[in-house]
């Protein structure tokens, strides 16, 4: 895959957001491949995870950015699915037995799994997918996951 565009956005007092776009199939359409924050000071930034988030799976251990309106997929290996926004989110291939992890790094002041759990309004299995609701406007769908295939041990809260 040939990297086509690197966009940097300076956020005053926070740091720089670096987003990489590529035209994977040469058709002239560029898609976001990765993003990363270079924070001026980790204490001042909205996020605690400063690594590179990918949007296309690889065969390595990936840090996958989870976005509303997009099904996200990891690749082979132990993938971390990093959530930074409150939306209806879908994770297409979460697998606890491969040491996958869901990381909440929202910048919304979450401090613990217990605090995060207090915002859960419902959890259900629809026969195929496991869905966790945080009110009417926020949910996480784990595609193809049975309720006994995930626990709070598969979750981390950074901010």
Residue 55 domain-assigned (yes or no): no
Domains: count for the chain: 1
pLDDT beyond 80 at 48:
no
Residue 1 domain-assigned (yes or no): no
> In the prediction, which pLDDT does 156 show?
93
Average pLDDT value over all residues in the chain: 86
For 147, the 3-state DSSP assignment is helix
CB 48, CB 15: distance < 8 Å: no
Residue 126 domain-assigned (yes or no): yes
Residue 57 domain-assigned (yes or no): no
Using pLDDT thresholds of 50, 70 and 90, give the confidence band for residue 34: confident
Integer Cα distance of 52 and 57 in angstroms? 13
Residue-wise pLDDT for 63-122, tens only, equals 998 988 888 888 888 999 999 888 899 999 898 888 999 999 887 788 899 999 999 999
> In the prediction, which pLDDT does 26 show?
82
> In the prediction, which pLDDT does 103 show?
93
pLDDT beyond 70 at 1:
no
Using pLDDT thresholds of 50, 70 and 90, give the confidence band for residue 136: very high
CA end-to-end span of the chain, whole Å?
33
Residue 19 domain-assigned (yes or no): no
CB 105, CB 114: distance < 8 Å: no
pLDDT-wise least confident of 28-37, 38-47, 50-59, 106-115: 38-47
Integer Cα distance of 48 and 37 in angstroms? 10
Domain membership of residue 79 as a residue range = 67-157
Residue 42 domain-assigned (yes or no): no
Residue 32 domain-assigned (yes or no): no
Residue 121 domain-assigned (yes or no): yes
Please name the residues in contact with 6: beta carbons below 8 A apart, sequence gap of 6 or more: 18, 19, 20, 21
């Amino acid at each position: 895959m040939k990297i086509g565009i690197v966009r940097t956005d300076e956020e005053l007092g926070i740091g720089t957001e670096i987003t990489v776009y590529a035209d994977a199939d040469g058709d002239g359409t560029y898609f976001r491949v990765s993003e990363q924050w270079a924070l001026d000071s980790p204490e001042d930034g909205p996020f605690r995870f400063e690594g590179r988030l990918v949007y296309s799976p690889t065969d390595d251990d990936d840090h996958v950015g989870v976005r509303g309106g997009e099904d996200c997929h990891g690749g082979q290996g132990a993938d971390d699915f990093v959530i930074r926004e409150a939306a209806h989110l879908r994770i297409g291939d979460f697998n606890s037995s491969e040491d996958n992890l869901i990381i909440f790094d929202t910048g919304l002041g979450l401090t613990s799994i217990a605090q995060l759990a207090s915002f859960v309004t419902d959890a259900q299995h629809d026969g195929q997918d496991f869905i966790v609701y945080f009110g009417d406007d926020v949910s996480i769908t784990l595609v193809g996951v049975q309720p006994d295939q995930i626990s709070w041990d598969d979750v981390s809260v950074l901010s």
